[in-house]
Structure 1
Amino acid sequence: MPVYDYACEACGPFTVLRPMAQFRDPHDCPDCGAECGRAFLTAPRISGMDPGLRAAHATNERSRHAPRRSGSHGAGCGCCSPSKPASAPAAAKSFPKARPWMISH
């Protein structure tokens, strides 16, 4: 269960461990018993995040309104890459230099 922050006007901020289904519901202050609304007291810890994950979040944030489509299909795409010259041997499984560990059947 996550921890949520609440702010009481009389007593100040406090945190409560609650189920995620109840995140919108107000909570009673543990000191005075008044009904308190949820408060956002701390920001997410983005600076301590893994750099790769932080870059992925930044990319997703930039592209959420207008995603860009890449023009290519990626490395090894058969439809866009130029055809390779026929320098390979005629036998389908004869790779003595490229894959010496491969056993031919």
Structure 2
Amino acid sequence: MPMYEYCCEACGPFDALKPLSEFRAPAACPECGCSAPRVVGNAPALSTLSEAVRRAHAINEKSADAPRSTRSGHGMNCGCCATRSRPGKTRRTADGGKTFQGARPWMISH
């Protein structure tokens, strides 16, 4: 449940937890019990969030209207720009059999 801000004419501002379905409904003041209208107060304090959370929010906002596409360039972990390719672990013996570098000798290949 989100917390909304209300302002009682007699007692001043207060916060109350309300369901989303009741976001427009007034709330009872905790001190005097009078019905108080909801007010839009402070802006969200995004500057107090950690750098990682702010970066995650920025990535979410960017991907909402312009998602990253692999058609326009290199996708994530494309591998084509690697500095050097790594050789496979399969080795061939003189008689045509296969062995695997670093494998256990009792393993059967197929």
TM tier, shorter chain?
0.5 to 0.7
Partner residue of 1:14? 14
Contact 2:69 / 2:75 at 8 angstroms: preserved in 1? Answer: no
> What is the CA-CA distance between 1:7 and the residue it aligns to?
1.3
Residue 74 of structure 2, aligned match among 69, 72, 75: 72
1:23 and 2:29 correspond: no
Distance 2:87 2:10 in 1: 82
Which protein is richer in strand relative to its size? Answer: 2
Partner residue of 1:95? 101
Q: Where do 5+ consecutive residues of structure 1 fail to align?
A: none
Question: What are the Cα deviations for residues 32-79 of structure 1, in whole angstroms up to 9, with x where unaligned?
Answer: 61x3222233333322323122112123234544445352222145xx
- Report percent identity of matched pairs: 35
- The aligned amino acid for 1:73 is G
Contact 2:6 / 2:15 at 8 angstroms: preserved in 1? Answer: yes
Distance 1:64 1:76 in 2: 23
- The aligned amino acid for 2:91 is P
CA 1:22–1:104 in 2, change beyond 3 Å: closer, same or farther?
Answer: farther
CA 1:63–1:73 in 2, change beyond 3 Å: closer, same or farther?
Answer: closer
TM-score after normalising by structure 2: 0.56
Q: Where do 5+ consecutive residues of structure 2 fail to align?
A: 93-97
TM-score after normalising by structure 1: 0.58
Report which structure shows greater RCO (CA 8 Å, sep ≥6).
1
Partner residue of 2:53? 53
Cα RMSD (Å) of the superposition?
A: 3.5
Contact 1:11 / 1:32 at 8 angstroms: preserved in 2? Answer: no
> What is the CA-CA distance between 1:94 and the residue it aligns to?
0.8
